[in-house]
């Protein structure tokens, strides 16, 4: 699906404004993005390049563009790849409650360091560590700069 560049700019703006306050949490072989207020999960990327997203959340975000999940998930895949520099090999929508996993991530939070990168690229881990040194909580808005 080819997307008009002007439409992509609008979608990019909508995603950035909708997601900017959400927390970026590395947890070993996973990256979690969690809503900072409700502690609801937004999406999860693992080191194998699998992206799972909360389709209830993104259905709302993409509603203004009258897009169905099979249309917007291709755009979401490209957007996440550009934002984090992690190649996405597989994408799936998940609608179930992940509160148990989110609570586990918030409690255990297997931190990254340059020696324990859990197969993520040096660039991805270094970027996170730099942002984590500056900010108490790394939010997605820190990746938009």
Q: Nearest 10 degrees: CA dihedral of 32, 36, 41, 42?
A: -80
- Quick check: 1 pLDDT over 70? no
Q: Which of 38-47, 65-74, 106-115, 135-144 has the lowest mean pLDDT?
A: 106-115
Phi, psi of 39 (to 5 degrees): 65, 25
What confidence tier does 56 reach under pLDDT thresholds 50, 70, 90? very high
Angle at the Cα of 36 (from 27 to 139), degrees rounded to 5?
65
What confidence tier does 120 reach under pLDDT thresholds 50, 70, 90? confident
Residue-wise pLDDT for 36-52, tens only, equals 888 899 999 999 999 99
pTM for the model stands at 0.90
- Quick check: 108 pLDDT over 90? no
Residue-wise pLDDT for 3-36, tens only, equals 899 999 999 999 999 999 999 999 889 999 999 8
């Amino acid at each position: 699906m080819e997307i008009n560049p002007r439409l992509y700019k609008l979608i990019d703006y909508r995603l950035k404004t909708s997601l900017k306050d959400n927390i970026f949490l590395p947890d070993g072989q996973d990256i979690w993005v969690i809503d900072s207020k409700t502690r609801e999960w937004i999406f999860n990327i693992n080191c194998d390049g699998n992206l799972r997203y909360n389709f209830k959340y993104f259905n709302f975000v993409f509603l203004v563009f009258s897009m169905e999940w099979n249309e917007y998930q291709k755009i979401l895949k490209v957007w996440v790849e550009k934002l984090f520099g992690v190649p996405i090999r597989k994408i799936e929508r998940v609608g179930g409650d992940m509160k148990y996993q989110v609570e586990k991530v918030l409690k255990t939070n297997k931190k990254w360091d340059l020696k324990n990168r859990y197969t993520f690229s040096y660039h991805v881990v270094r970027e996170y560590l730099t942002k984590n040194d500056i900010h108490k909580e790394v939010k997605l808005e820190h990746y938009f700069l």
